[in-house]
Amino acid sequence: MNDSVKKNRVHLKIHGRVQGVYYRASTVQEAQNLGLTGWVMNCPDGSVETVAEGAQQKLEELIAWCRQGPTGARVTSVDVGWEKPENNFCSFSIRR
């Protein structure tokens, strides 16, 4: 299997004005469009956290999207952590 289709996993923490602006719903839509699996959720500190699995290139596209977010969001920073894929997701969803 070549590296462009090898499954990877990324853990993101998005900071800024990212709650109350449809960030989670927009992230689900973007991830589904990219063919990724995983989850997104609001954190008590006002940030948004997401874990996604899929092809490296598609994950990079999601990271780039997360740095901007939906209209109304003001992203100040994105923490990116690469992890070993666990292959335990069948879709991309909002965690509450």
Task: Give, to the nearest 10 degrees, the angle between helix 56-66 and helix 23-34.
Answer: 160
Note the pLDDT tens digit of each residue in 9-55: 999 999 999 999 999 999 999 999 999 999 999 999 999 999 999 99
Residue 73 lies in a domain: yes
Residue 2 lies in a domain: no
**Contacts with 29 (C-beta within 8 Å, 6 or more apart), sequence order:** none
Residue 64 lies in a domain: yes
Q: What total of structural domains would you count in the chain?
A: 1
* pLDDT of residue 63 exceeding 50: yes
* pLDDT of residue 89 exceeding 60: yes
- Domain containing residue 34: 7-83
- Over residues 88-95, the mean pLDDT reads 97
The predicted model scores a pTM of 0.93
pLDDT score at 36: 98
pLDDT score at 6: 84
Residue 93 lies in a domain: no
- Encoding tokens for residue 59? 């994950």
Residue 27 lies in a domain: yes
CATH number of the domain within which 64 lies: 3.30.70.100
Residue 72 lies in a domain: yes
Residue 90 lies in a domain: no
Q: What is the spatial distance between Cα 95 and Cα 28, in angstroms, rounded to a whole number?
A: 11
Q: Point out the residues that are catalytic.
A: 24, 42
* pLDDT of residue 4 exceeding 50: no
* pLDDT of residue 3 exceeding 60: no
